[in-house]
Chain A
Amino acid sequence: MEVKSLQFKARAAERLADPALQSKLKGAKQLFVGGRARVVAEFDQVGQAGDFETLRGVGADIRDTVLDDLDAWLEIFEARATAGGATVLWARDGREAQKLIVDIAKRHGVKKVIKSKSMLSEEAGLNEGLEAAGVQSVETDLGEYILQLAKEPPSHILAPAIHKNKEEVDELFARYHGRPVTPAGQIDIPALTREARVALREHFLSADMGISGGNFLIAETGSVALVTNEGNGRMVTTLPKVHVAVVGIEKLIPSLEDLSALLRLLPRSATGQTISNYVSLLTGPRAEAAEEGPEHMYFVLMDNGRSSLVGSDFQEMLRCIRCGACMNHCPVYQSIGGHAYGWVYPGPMGSVLTPLYNGLEKAPDLPQAATLCGQCSVVCPVKIPLPELLRKLREKQMEGGLRSWQEKWSLKAWGFFAARPRLYALATGIGARVLKVMGGDEGRIEKLPGLAEWSRGRDFPAPQGKTFRELYAARKDLH
């Protein structure tokens, strides 16, 4: 997927001025933030107080154990997956991953591919690659299916179509399923879901290849673990004769017990569930006597910038288990949604990953896209110090003199903003201004977003709309 993070400020400003998007984001926030808080409290209650906090530390340790010796662990995984009958392939970047997968499709005479949600395949632009090779590729996660019809990228890693309302979905389905648009006021979400189920069922039963991502790779058994709620992940990995799991090299964990521990963290942090509906552990192709399951299983292990983080100041970022909690709790994300970030990963984790994987010069504004409230690192299930990593990125940026580029861009954008003075005002310091808006007239924030419990009874002085850059410059003057 092309990186469009350069336009962050302009896109962010447009979104701040979009009341419909604002209300969708608000609804989602309440659902995710409230849900997580409830199940975390319950976990501590059923066990002992502080258990969830301890578990977050264990989650971080599990991830570090592998990342610290990643090459050795990958060798173990490769050996065991191969022993289980799978073929393990490697891709330096998205382009190579695309080519490997197109080759697999050709080798097995594949006409139609069904896909379960994989952000990594978005990184690799996989659908475009397959279509170019004449292979039909169908997204089967309901949100991703909607976006594929709309030809739009996801705006959230868990709820990719969070920015669409039911009227927009109905219109899309009407167009692509060949039926009239439902009259306003009569659109029924369960009926829309059923309509997609029927349309996709046909694809499930007729596809020759399934492509899944992977939530975890397990070294012990050479398996991939998939976590889904809809059941499409199971279809994709059970029905077609070929299964390809395209997974980042950093997703590896040691044993099945580690999987269980991380599964206590992931759904709780992600959607406020104690467990997701379906957790599948997939190992090799089907046994010879079996009547179901794929005859061929491939792993495509993709690097795409990950190895350059290993052993660096940013290695902690590779612990990420893609739960989405950091974006769900981020006041900047809550105000602008995912598309403004301009690449696959939004929110705080995206603000760190996008410049690291693609180069700071392609995403110079993302490290500033924070209010420094620290919520993301409080909720991250593997204790990634996101604000700290964002700070380090800003430091790198200052060293590299990347600001000059930004001035050039500002000039180009001047024409756009000259006609829209309010947007300009918003665009010149999204993060700080988001907080300022929340602070209202009093200039105080009674509740930090997503932290009702903690911030109850405490007031925070709202930043007075200064950007980090302004503050940084001011602070420097004091020295």
Chain B
Amino acid sequence: MSARNDILNRLGQRLGADQLAARRARAEAALAAHIGQPQGPRPTPGADLLAEFRRRAESLASTVEVVSTWADAPAALARYLAEKDLPRQGVAWPSLGHLDWAGAGLEIRLGAARGDDRLGITSCYCAIAETGTLMLLGESDTHAVTSLLPETHVALVPASLLLWGMEEGWAKLRAERGTPPRGVNFVSGPSRTGDIEQTLVLGAHGPYRVHLILLQDC
């Protein structure tokens, strides 16, 4: 017998071989009841999503700057890089190609990050205030590697994309896309490890720093 049938039969025997139909019906019904239905208590949403998101993100070692619109983002980024003494070259999602990076003195390539890119610029699919988290979909003009390989990850977050919890993110995804794309990534601050003597070190395999530029009028 194939391993598959063997395992399923073994389970069936333990659960009642003659009740498989009932189990299938119960599972289908439970699945339908769980989809789109938040399970269990959730922290109460704060009144000000932006403030809440900012507080949470900062507590996870992200840095945050609030500006007004998309057009302000390149200059804000240039200021951040200068302040941290970081290189002005980087790679951005093609969906951010409309911004005037060169005008702010930055050298930005559009496309997917490579192993040696030092700066990766993304936006997000939405942002979760409950935990200060970015929700990112890896698609053809929103590459997953850009938030992962470079040492510095900068995300431009329009305030209109702020949601309270992960559940609201799922609802948006179902409504807009139906099924999820290959990779949905939730990013909450720079990568970290405590594997040597439980000493927290930022910048394990992913970015050393995550800087969020919030666009409050977008």
Is the Cβ of A230 less than 8 Å from the Cβ of B193? yes
Complex interface: chain A residues within 8 A of B42 (CB)? 47, 264
**Residue B86 at the chain A interface, CB threshold 8 Å:** no
Look across to chain B and name the residue whose beta carbon is closest to the beta carbon of A235: B205
Complex interface: chain A residues within 8 A of B179 (CB)? 84, 221, 283
Is the Cβ of B206 less than 8 Å from the Cβ of A231? yes
Is the Cβ of A71 less than 8 Å from the Cβ of B182? no
Instruction: Report the Cα distance A440→B39, complex, angstroms.
Output: 46
12 interchain pairs (CB within 8 A)?
A74-B8, A89-B3, A189-B199, A192-B196, A221-B180, A230-B206, A234-B185, A254-B35, A255-B31, A281-B185, A287-B182, A311-B15
Complex interface: chain A residues within 8 A of B191 (CB)? 229-231, 277-278
Option from A190, A239, A281 in Cβ contact (under 8 Å) with B145? A239
Is the Cβ of B14 less than 8 Å from the Cβ of A311? yes
Give B1-57 interface residues, CB cut-off 8 Å to A. 2-4, 6-8, 10-12, 14-15, 20, 23-24, 26-28, 30-31, 34-44, 56
How far, in Å, is A123 (CB) from chain B's closest CB?
A: 15
Instruction: Report the Cα distance A54→B40, complex, angstroms.
Output: 7
How far, in Å, is B201 (CB) from chain A's closest CB?
A: 4
How far, in Å, is B168 (CB) from chain A's closest CB?
A: 10
Instruction: Report the Cα distance A277→B136, complex, angstroms.
Output: 13
Is the Cβ of A292 less than 8 Å from the Cβ of B186? no
Complex interface: chain A residues within 8 A of B31 (CB)? 76, 219-220, 254-255
Is the Cβ of B196 less than 8 Å from the Cβ of A166? yes
Instruction: Answer whether A189 and B196 are a contact pair too, CB < 8 Å, given A256-B170, A257-B39, A307-B14.
Output: yes
Look across to chain A and name the residue whose beta carbon is closest to the beta carbon of B206: A231
Give A192-208 interface residues, CB cut-off 8 Å to B. 192-194, 197, 200-201, 204-205
**Residue A17 at the chain B interface, CB threshold 8 Å:** no
Binds B, one of A139-147, A336-344, A353-361: A139-147
Instruction: Report the Cα distance A58→B188, complex, angstroms.
Output: 25
Is the Cβ of A90 less than 8 Å from the Cβ of B3? yes
Interface residue tally for chain A (C-beta within 8 Å): 106
Instruction: Answer whether A76 and B27 are a contact pair too, CB < 8 Å, given A190-B201, A235-B205, A255-B34.
Output: yes
Is the Cβ of A161 less than 8 Å from the Cβ of B196? yes
Instruction: Report the Cα distance A143→B191, complex, angstroms.
Output: 15
Instruction: Answer whether A238 and B138 are a contact pair too, CB < 8 Å, given A72-B26, A223-B180, A257-B39.
Output: yes
Complex interface: chain B residues within 8 A of A197 (CB)? 203-205
Q: Which 3 pairs of residues, A with B, have the shortest CB-CB distance? A: A231-B206, A58-B40, A230-B204
Is the Cβ of A260 less than 8 Å from the Cβ of B23? no
How far, in Å, is A317 (CB) from chain B's closest CB?
A: 14
Give A288-337 interface residues, CB cut-off 8 Å to B. 289-294, 301, 303, 307-308, 310-312
**Residue A389 at the chain B interface, CB threshold 8 Å:** no
Is the Cβ of A310 less than 8 Å from the Cβ of B38? no
**Residue A182 at the chain B interface, CB threshold 8 Å:** no
Give B121-164 interface residues, CB cut-off 8 Å to A. 131, 133, 138-140, 143-145, 148
Look across to chain B and name the residue whose beta carbon is closest to the beta carbon of A312: B14
